[in-house]
Amino acid sequence: VQPSLLHGDLWSGNIGSADGEPSVFDPAVYWGHDEAEWGMSWCASLGAGFWQGYRELIPEDPGFYEREPLYLAYHYMNHYNLFGGGYLSSARQELEKVARNLDKRGA
């Protein structure tokens, strides 16, 4: 895995324009696997065209769908920490998927 500089809070509320050019702002920047940006895809309100363009620039790595629940769980837990509510059950469901994926690998 080659580390990438990630936005860290990629959703439609942090995308706009400046002088007629696309702009992404309010980052929670960190270095990590580019796949981590997909952890907000459930609430990002970014259209299919955005994610298709993302994949044109950064192709999907093998095994992404096995790792995706971990990235989703991170953001569900963060949302539960910030806002409470049903995010905890969503985080738990994603972590259970992670556990099943690890069990399949004998980990």
pTM across the whole model: 0.86
Give tens-digit pLDDT for 28-46. 999 999 999 999 999 999 9
- What is the model's pLDDT at position 67? 94
User: Can you list the alpha helix ranges (DSSP code H) found in 58-86?
Assistant: 64-83
Instruction: Give me the amino acid identity at 99.
Output: A
Give tens-digit pLDDT for 55-104. 999 999 999 999 999 999 999 999 999 999 999 999 999 999 999 999 99
Write the burial class of residue 15 (CB in 10 Å: 0-12 exposed, 13-18 middle, 19+ buried). Answer: middle
Catalytic residue set: 9
Neighbour count for residue 35 (Cβ, 10 Å): 19
Question: What is the average pLDDT score of the chain?
Answer: 93
Query: What is the separation, in whole angstroms, between the first and last Cα of the chain?
Result: 20
